[in-house]
Structure 1
């Protein structure tokens, strides 16, 4: 707090003397489409945070993940190093690292759903605004989510010619270029083409143990929009887009777990033998790869060569991701007040991505994910609007297919060669060096929905919404021997099987199965106990909401909503040892009650919005342990009962002309009310022992979050405008839920900007600094695969200059 107040004081102290004489000034109206139609943000009876494209650029928001740093109540973290971000709103989130996991937070790009968060990691380009809708949105949005939605809205084609470029150069030799051109192609076709690229050949992370840097960037995005006037009553908006990302990934930092109240490590690995065993050359010393307090310090594995096959794998943290897609939006005014809207979307996502879990130059845990994902969606809705009534009725359909290979490297782990110096049976006799998990998932979802807003009186509005969804998800997969024979050899040694290299290694441990492993031991059919797991889940659910808005005055709206929502179940896409580990988790359900107010005060110069909410959270999807033959490893489950209470406050103030102050606060009180979680100390396969963890907080649910932006601009003569500004954010500590190694500390991040430009907006030059105080923080922490505890540190202080020009 002191750092933030100091930065604000510095900015304000440098401002020219302000004219405090009352002037006719008002805040600019913010228009959102949260309810599928354009409305002033203060006329919508739900909690919405919105940022313009210009605000996002000044604050350094370049990706969907960056939005969280400026939105109270929203967090983005990762549960492991697999390239899959986890979005959480108001404590409602799913901490799973599987690519196949659906998010509790809906992500929509120009009204088309992005159902898997791994698809959201590309750069944001030519944005009009972003809207964060908090709480269940079960009646108007396609995919089933419980936390809320994030809508990304692109700038649309214009009839008049427009063009512009933005060029930035910053620390670590980072070059950003963004440009657009917009205008009329024919009498009835307007188009807009936007392109963005970020390039950096200098890494921001430094290896602790060698001369090596990580963090180069190579990402480009392009989008073409065509607004076609079909006739006087109908228009078609075509959206063609592509993103290519060949950047290096962030590496983790390993640390001594005793700093966080844990053991030094969860399990030993080979490189620790020199420091932990009395026979080790460095016995009693601190391993040189431990580090905290320096965001640039990290370590990673660059390659692995199999001692069995001689094949070498490139494990350097990096990605080769490509998303291409298209959408079409048809709007047809059928008659006065009636509009038909049809939105078709298709996206194809492919990646080959390597990540290092363990934060070291050793090979306790590294992985390569190869993903092929296709998503199709179709929405058709009919909207009617009159002075007294507005209603929307529609249908939605989506279909997606995913194929993934998850190649896992663990040669130095306790399950691999790390077991040899520690003498850990049975792995010391037959170590496992690699795993290859392969699975297929296909999901079909169909829904019918309705939404009604009825003005009961001039000041009182009733909102009713309902949605019925039918969804089917099919999954088939197995963890295979990776071709080196090490997993097959371990299973053959342990069970007397004769599995060849490359065979499925998932053990059938279902006592009711004809291939139950203990029913086949010693028989010639024992190999049948190792086979892929196939299952499907069907979900049929109603959800809906009731809302009342009352305009106390023209400038004060109070509202209350009662809503329900669900998120469909799914499957564990992690490495599996047994089939029981792959049994699907079921859907979760949320019942929410919210009260709020939206006010415009001080002659339109102040907006003050507040909300309080109470959530009943049933069957929350959460990480737990799976008790398997090789030990207690990653699993997924449902938490029977939880609750979330909280409140939020948002202020936008224009005290004098040119000075904008935006502040936001979010408070959360979360609690697990009923959950018998796996007890890791007492459980050993096939015996599972649980213990009562009721009373713990939910993961990724900080008690307090703050954010703010202060900006002042004033004229320099008749042709120039000067700007100074700062924005800041605070996130309180998180508990990690049942996994205390996932806990994070609180942190502040402060940014600053100084800019000068022309009064007509033709050009602007800005100096900026992000993470001004070089705060060390880590938004994610977890067990780094098998043995180490790791943290994923935020970026250090960066600075640079940006030049914008409009033609």
Structure 2
């Protein structure tokens, strides 16, 4: 085996110790190989290409999970799926309550609520256009499908990375009902149940409900006696399958989610521990007692720095304005509601089927988060968000022995309003500037900001998909899509009503702004309100105004693939696909209008080839894939150089590339044994980018550095996951099941932001279950993160000054009783 082969297939014996640290998985795999007889695999049926197909019969890479698998693995949210899916990561770049999905290194590291994801999210074929809407609990799921690579010829929204389909369980003809009750040592009570059956001759219904509650938190403050982690989640879904007549049916979906839980807090850490130049990005109040000679704790380590404990963190509970006396509750917490409905109509028109999907979702939240991971108020925020999303899809499809075709139209409209209230009284731009002598803020500290913006997005598309079996063994797949999208944005960072921003601007520019005024500076030389054209005149206030802009994207994308059935058990495929993601706007706090300039669309050309093999008398399924991505104009974080300082911005990276390979295996090595293994390898590289050098740049001089050679953010070189399960029957008819799940994620670079790098980590989950003879009930005990691994899937600069980490969950143990009526 040569060097290249070894790097792509890490399960080779010579590299086994490296691939599986501490050998926690190897013992279970060796045990599994000892049995002599096995039953055959049952193939998962998916609808990834809008019609039912065996997951191993289609020429695309799909990771599919059944609802039972997700429950056993402890998957309760969309983010949890990443632990069991090689090549998928879910993290955050700031404490704004916005999860960020990345597949095979294709992701967008922007924390704004208004940012569109590179990974499409769909619930029962309805797009979830903003990832903040995906944070509800996951329940009553038939399966989850993770599709990798550009998508768009079959789905409402085009994406560059791939997509995740959540498929709910549907109403049944016969009566069914079940209840699951789980409780763990973190004092979390999880109750889920459903009832399904015929309501009359033409209507079947299904009602599912889930409640998650905990009155006791699990995170502990590093500096005081305080806990965080209470849960209060309620979700329900009502489905009605209506047979209107022999040719027309309707599926009505009504759903609701209410989440009033604590948010997770960050932990500040010393940047030098991670190889950064300093312990912090900027000083803040509290650090003065440790950094300024003669202070009380000079030379000591601040007690709020990370101690490598999953449960240890810190946060700010409240702020009382020194200007207005207003009291703000800043304890990390969410009050989110999602209400929605969809109607899917299927109408048989002879040999053609017409499908219509109409959907509307309304999402509201008031959410507070702590960026800085300390009890100081360097950076905390409250987000008030309102989202209204409407979509309509129409498609026609037909099928013969040789040809399947689908053609459709799609339209969506999203309206967003957000108020992003930012608290920074202890930061270097606020009162923290005073002991450290940072001018001009020490003379006029900025204590609060209030960013408000609206965004309206309208998207229309036409798409077509064809699968042609041009002979017995060969199939050609082609897809095409045209999208027109417009996005209108208007916003400004306002004085928060306390007058601190207005006071700073008045003292700096001679303005007469009042509390509540817009404070974003017009620094566009081509504008009639350009700050240097009106400064010193009576019109100087005109340089501070709401920024408005519109972007429009018109784009084609396509896909061409070929499958060859070498025999009944072996399928080879190759696919070329193109995808794009439209541009957008920066929803962060803004000092100047240059920071709010839109970023452009990104585009991905993807080539993939793979093999799907059914082996060992249908006891093993082995799927292999290799891919090459040409990534143009990747949307990325950057710096905006303005005359008021270097501030956060967004840009496009001209050229990047991603190479990789994946393995997915299911194996029944002996009677009662099940082994699953997933491996993903990524090699990412920025090939062309003259990035702004934040340290060397100072307005009006912009210094650029060659950023080629960097790895892309959130792109671990290796990820693995494995499941080993054994079940056997007792003489009295009861069954016992034992299982172990293992996952490993390699370290990641932060891309252009080294503070966003994460360390490698591995997780082990254990479970044991007792099943009744008629499978009417099942009692399972489990331990998650069995070795209490300290890990942090996300790290970043915590707002203004600290470097922070968002730690994963500590070890927990619990039991679940499932009962079918």
Task: Return the match for 1:171 from 151, 164, 185.
Answer: 185
Instruction: Specify the alignment match of 1:522 in structure 2.
Output: 536
Instruction: Specify the alignment match of 1:219 in structure 2.
Output: 233
Deviation of 1:629 (Å): 4.1
Mapping of 1:777-792 within 5 angstroms?
Answer: 777-792=791-806
- Separation of aligned partners in 2, 1:684 and 1:489: 24
Say whether the 8 Å CA contact 1:229–1:235 is kept in structure 2: yes
Instruction: Specify the alignment match of 1:108 in structure 2.
Output: 122
Deviation of 1:687 (Å): 3.0
Which whole-Å deviations, capped at 9, do the CAs of 1:738-787 have from their partners, x for residues lacking one? 00000000000110100001132210000000001000000000000000
Instruction: Specify the alignment match of 1:300 in structure 2.
Output: 315
Instruction: Specify the alignment match of 1:236 in structure 2.
Output: 250
Matched, 1:284 2:299: yes
- Separation of aligned partners in 2, 1:334 and 1:10: 54
- Separation of aligned partners in 1, 2:698 and 2:312: 37
Say whether the 8 Å CA contact 1:188–1:229 is kept in structure 2: yes
Deviation of 1:521 (Å): 1.0
Instruction: Specify the alignment match of 2:446 in structure 1.
Output: 432
Task: Return the match for 2:431 from 417, 420, 430.
Answer: 417
Task: Return the match for 1:32 from 40, 43, 46.
Answer: 46
Matched, 1:322 2:337: yes
Which whole-Å deviations, capped at 9, do the CAs of 1:635-678 have from their partners, x for residues lacking one? 10000000000000011001112211000000000000011111
- Separation of aligned partners in 2, 1:88 and 1:402: 23
Instruction: Specify the alignment match of 1:562 in structure 2.
Output: 576
Say whether the 8 Å CA contact 1:480–1:502 is kept in structure 2: yes
Task: Using structure 2 for the length normalisation, give the TM-score.
Answer: 0.97
Instruction: Specify the alignment match of 1:188 in structure 2.
Output: 202
Secondary structure in 2 matching 1:751: strand
Task: Return the match for 1:274 from 277, 286, 289.
Answer: 289
- Separation of aligned partners in 2, 1:11 and 1:92: 32
Secondary structure in 1 matching 2:444: coil
Secondary structure in 2 matching 1:776: coil
Instruction: Specify the alignment match of 2:355 in structure 1.
Output: 341
Task: Return the match for 2:263 from 246, 249, 258.
Answer: 249
Instruction: Specify the alignment match of 1:88 in structure 2.
Output: 102
Say whether the 8 Å CA contact 1:202–1:216 is kept in structure 2: yes
- Separation of aligned partners in 2, 1:685 and 1:531: 21
Mapping of 1:301-700 within 5 angstroms?
Answer: 301-336=316-351, 338-700=352-714
Deviation of 1:2 (Å): 6.0
Deviation of 1:4 (Å): 6.2
Task: Using structure 1 for the length normalisation, give the TM-score.
Answer: 0.98
Deviation of 1:329 (Å): 0.5
Deviation of 1:3 (Å): 6.1
Deviates more, 1:676-685 or 1:562-571: 676-685
- Separation of aligned partners in 2, 1:525 and 1:440: 26
Deviation of 1:717 (Å): 1.7
Which whole-Å deviations, capped at 9, do the CAs of 1:522-543 have from their partners, x for residues lacking one? 0000000000100000000000
- Separation of aligned partners in 1, 2:220 and 2:208: 34
Say whether the 8 Å CA contact 2:35–2:669 is kept in structure 1: no
- Separation of aligned partners in 2, 1:170 and 1:389: 52
Task: Return the match for 1:5 from 23, 39, 58.
Answer: 23
Question: How many residue pairs are counted as aligned between the two chains?
Answer: 802
Which whole-Å deviations, capped at 9, do the CAs of 1:475-502 have from their partners, x for residues lacking one? 0000000000000000000000000000
Which whole-Å deviations, capped at 9, do the CAs of 1:184-227 have from their partners, x for residues lacking one? 00001000000001101111110000000001111110000000
Which whole-Å deviations, capped at 9, do the CAs of 1:25-82 have from their partners, x for residues lacking one? 2101110000001100011110000000000000011010001010000000001000
Deviation of 1:6 (Å): 3.2
- Separation of aligned partners in 2, 1:781 and 1:19: 44
Task: Return the match for 1:708 from 709, 717, 722.
Answer: 722
- Separation of aligned partners in 1, 2:282 and 2:790: 27
Say whether the 8 Å CA contact 1:11–1:726 is kept in structure 2: no
Secondary structure in 1 matching 2:79: helix
- Separation of aligned partners in 1, 2:364 and 2:316: 24
- Separation of aligned partners in 2, 1:494 and 1:6: 61
Mapping of 1:104-183 within 5 angstroms?
Answer: 104-183=118-197
Which whole-Å deviations, capped at 9, do the CAs of 1:139-188 have from their partners, x for residues lacking one? 11111210001000000000000000000010111100000000000001
Say whether the 8 Å CA contact 1:612–1:647 is kept in structure 2: yes
- Separation of aligned partners in 2, 1:279 and 1:524: 48
- Separation of aligned partners in 2, 1:539 and 1:34: 26
Deviates more, 1:313-322 or 1:1-10: 1-10
- Separation of aligned partners in 2, 1:691 and 1:147: 28
- Separation of aligned partners in 1, 2:142 and 2:176: 15
- Separation of aligned partners in 2, 1:776 and 1:3: 15
For the aligned residues, what is the CA RMSD? 1.2
CA distance 1:659–1:747, shift in 2 (3 Å)? same
Secondary structure in 2 matching 1:271: coil
Task: Return the match for 2:280 from 256, 262, 265.
Answer: 265
- Separation of aligned partners in 2, 1:732 and 1:18: 30
Deviation of 1:8 (Å): 6.0
Say whether the 8 Å CA contact 1:250–1:317 is kept in structure 2: yes
Secondary structure in 2 matching 1:270: coil
- Separation of aligned partners in 2, 1:437 and 1:344: 33
Flag structure 2 segments of 5+ consecutive residues without an equivalent.
Answer: 1-18
Matched, 1:204 2:218: yes
Say whether the 8 Å CA contact 1:8–1:726 is kept in structure 2: no
- Separation of aligned partners in 2, 1:114 and 1:518: 43
CA distance 1:7–1:546, shift in 2 (3 Å)? closer
Deviation of 1:689 (Å): 1.8
- Separation of aligned partners in 2, 1:672 and 1:766: 47
Deviation of 1:431 (Å): 0.3
Secondary structure in 1 matching 2:236: strand
Deviates more, 1:468-477 or 1:282-291: 282-291
Deviation of 1:18 (Å): 7.0
Instruction: Specify the alignment match of 1:720 in structure 2.
Output: 734
Which whole-Å deviations, capped at 9, do the CAs of 1:393-431 have from their partners, x for residues lacking one? 000000000000000000000000000001111000000
Secondary structure in 1 matching 2:194: strand
Matched, 1:66 2:77: no
Say whether the 8 Å CA contact 2:150–2:158 is kept in structure 1: no
Deviation of 1:691 (Å): 1.0
Say whether the 8 Å CA contact 1:344–1:378 is kept in structure 2: yes
Say whether the 8 Å CA contact 2:557–2:579 is kept in structure 1: yes
- Separation of aligned partners in 1, 2:161 and 2:603: 10
